C-alpha cells in the first residue's frame, strides 16, 4: 500500500502530490481575482501512466469548488482535457 498525500502549497502557488514522501506530480496555479488559472501540470516521467496527474487535478478542482467562489481557466492542455472528460463540472469554468 502506498501513502499518497496531496496538498495546496499556497506559498508556491501549486498543488503537489507525493507518493511515499516523494514529490511525483505538481499542478501550478495563478489566482486572478475571481478566477484561478492552471497553466501547467507535470508528473515525473518515471511516474507517468499511473493516474497521478488525474488524481491531482481531481483534488484541485474539488478544492476550488468547495473552498472558493473562483472560476477555472484551464490554460494547461491536461486540465482542459480533464474538463472535457468531466462535462458535469463545466459550471466551474470561467465564461
* DSSP-assigned letter for residue 29: E
Tens-digit pLDDT string for the chain (95 aa): 899 999 999 999 999 999 999 999 999 999 999 999 999 999 999 999 999 999 999 999 999 999 999 999 999 999 999 999 999 999 999 97
* Domain span holding position 61: 4-92
What local confidence, expressed as pLDDT, does residue 21 receive? Answer: 97
HSE-CB for 91 with a 13 A CA cutoff: 5
What local confidence, expressed as pLDDT, does residue 47 receive? Answer: 97
- Number of structural domains found in the chain: 1
Nearest to 78 by CA among 91, 51, 88, 64: 51
The CATH code of the domain that includes 38 is 3.40.630.30
Collect all residues with Cβ–Cβ distance below 8 Å to 54 and sequence separation of at least 6. Answer: 82
* DSSP-assigned letter for residue 93: B
Residue 43, all three cell numbers: 508528473
> CA–CA distance from 7 to each of 34, 40, 87, 95 (Å)?
21, 16, 25, 27
pTM of the model: 0.94
What local confidence, expressed as pLDDT, does residue 95 receive? Answer: 78
Amino acid at each position: 500500500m502506498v501513502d499518497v498525500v496531496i496538498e495546496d502549497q499556497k506559498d508556491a502557488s501549486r498543488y503537489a502530490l507525493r507518493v511515499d514522501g516523494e514529490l511525483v506530480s505538481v499542478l501550478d496555479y495563478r489566482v486572478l481575482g475571481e478566477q484561478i488559472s492552471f497553466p501547467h501540470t507535470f508528473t515525473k516521467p518515471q511516474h507517468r501512466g499511473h493516474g497521478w496527474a488525474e488524481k491531482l487535478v481531481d483534488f484541485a478542482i474539488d478544492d476550488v469548488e468547495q473552498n472558493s467562489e473562483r472560476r477555472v481557466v484551464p490554460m494547461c492542455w491536461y486540465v482542459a482535457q480533464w474538463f472535457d472528460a468531466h462535462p458535469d463540472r463545466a459550471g466551474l469554468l470561467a465564461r
